[in-house]
Amino acid sequence: MSKDATLNQVAAYAGVSIATASRCFSHPEVVKKETVEKILAAALALNYKAPRVLERDRSVLRIAVFTSMYSHQGDLERLRGIINALRAVPHELLLFDVSENPASIEHVKKLAVTKRIDGIVIVAADIPDDVADYLYRFNIPAVLIDSDDDRFTRVMSSDSTGGIAVAQYFNARTEQRILFVGDRSQKSQRSTALRLKSFRDALDRTKNSITAELQVDVTLSDYVSKIQDELLRNPQPNAVFAASDELALDVIKLCANLGLKIPEQISLISYGDTDVAAKMEITAVRRHFEASGRRAIELLRSNSEELKREELSPELVIRNTAL
> What pLDDT, on a 0 to 100 scale, did the predictor assign at position 55?
43
In terms of domains, do 171 and 282 share one? Answer: yes
In terms of domains, do 100 and 140 share one? Answer: yes
> Which residues 6+ apart lie within 8 Å of 151 measured at CB?
127, 132, 307
In terms of domains, do 306 and 197 share one? Answer: no
In terms of domains, do 189 and 251 share one? Answer: yes
Amino acid identity at 91:
H
In terms of domains, do 124 and 73 share one? Answer: yes
In terms of domains, do 87 and 196 share one? Answer: no
> What pLDDT, on a 0 to 100 scale, did the predictor assign at position 239?
96
User: Can you give the C-alpha Rg of the chain in angstroms?
Assistant: 24
In terms of domains, do 173 and 253 share one? Answer: yes
> What pLDDT, on a 0 to 100 scale, did the predictor assign at position 166?
95
> What pLDDT, on a 0 to 100 scale, did the predictor assign at position 186?
61
In terms of domains, do 251 and 179 share one? Answer: yes
Report the CATH number at residue 182.
3.40.50.2300
> What pLDDT, on a 0 to 100 scale, did the predictor assign at position 102?
64
In terms of domains, do 185 and 262 share one? Answer: yes
**In a domain? residue 231:** yes
In terms of domains, do 297 and 152 share one? Answer: yes
In terms of domains, do 152 and 294 share one? Answer: yes
**In a domain? residue 321:** no
Name the residue range of residue 28's domain.
7-46
**In a domain? residue 239:** yes
**In a domain? residue 320:** no
> What pLDDT, on a 0 to 100 scale, did the predictor assign at position 54?
40
> What pLDDT, on a 0 to 100 scale, did the predictor assign at position 137?
84
Which stretches of the chain score pLDDT less than 50? Answer: 1, 53-56
- 10 Å CB burial of residue 69 (0-12, 13-18, 19+) is middle
**How far is Cα 105 from Cα 134, in angstroms, rounded to an integer?**
12
- Count of the separate structural domains present in the chain: 3
Q: Nearest 5 degrees, angle CA 242-CA 245-CA 250?
A: 70
Cα dihedral angle (99, 105, 107, 110), rounded to 10 degrees?
160
Predicted TM-score (pTM) of this structure = 0.77
In terms of domains, do 68 and 178 share one? Answer: no
**In a domain? residue 323:** no
